[in-house]
């Protein structure tokens, strides 16, 4: 059990270090983060359309972890970014809840809200920095 905890801790630490390194390049971080988030989004959509709730839960949980790591590395601290992040996190939690309940309509609505938060966040990120 102790060995497993050590392996998991080392893996997590390595992931954070790799993501922090990637965030140093102005062009790379968005592609790294967005590639993974888009993969998860595609998996979620596929899972919803086929009512494969295990896939929805797996991808939404992975997206939640990725978002937490990204937030830690990027540390954007504008009011608009924080607002979109809160909506994203709430929508992701709702998506997980509806997937666990095998509620396709609720999962669809939560995924739509999640997608809107992504679009709105990116609109904020493209605005000139004050």
What was the pLDDT predicted at 67?
81
Q: Say if residues 44 and 56 touch (Cβ distance below 8 Å).
A: yes
Q: How far apart are CA 46 and CA 34, in angstroms?
A: 18
CATH class assigned to 2-126: mainly alpha
Residue 130 has a CB neighbour count (10 Å cut-off) of 4
| Residue 8 pLDDT | 41
Give the residue extent of every domain in the chain.
Answer: 2-126
Long-range CB contacts for residues 110-115, cutoff 8 Å, separation at least 24: 111/44, 111/45, 111/48, 113/87, 114/88, 115/41
6 token code pair: 């050590």
- What pLDDT does 22 receive? 43
* Res 5: pLDDT: 41
Whole-number pLDDT of residue 110: 98
Question: How large is the angle between the packed helices 53-74 and 28-50, nearest 10 degrees?
Answer: 160
Q: What confidence score (pLDDT) does residue 126 get?
A: 79
Model pLDDT for residues 15-47, shown as the tens digit of each residue: 444 444 444 444 445 568 788 999 999 999 999
pLDDT by 10-residue block (mean), the chain, 130 residues: 44 43 47 86 97 98 86 68 87 98 98 93 76
Specify the pLDDT at position 23. 44
């Amino acid at each position: 059990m102790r060995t497993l905890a050590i392996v998991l801790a080392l893996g997590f630490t390595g992931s954070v270090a790799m993501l922090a390194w990637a965030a140093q390049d102005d062009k790379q971080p968005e592609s790294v983060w967005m590639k993974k988030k888009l993969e998860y989004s595609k998996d979620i959509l596929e899972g919803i359309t086929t009512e494969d709730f295990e896939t929805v839960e797996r991808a939404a949980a992975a997206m939640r972890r990725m978002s937490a790591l990204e937030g830690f590395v990027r540390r954007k601290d504008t009011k608009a970014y924080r607002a979109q992040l809160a909506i994203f996190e709430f929508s992701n939690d709702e998506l997980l809840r509806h997937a666990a309940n095998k509620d396709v309509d609720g999962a669809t609505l939560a995924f739509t809200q999640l997608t809107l938060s992504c679009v709105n966040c990116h609109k904020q990120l493209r605005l000139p920095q004050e």
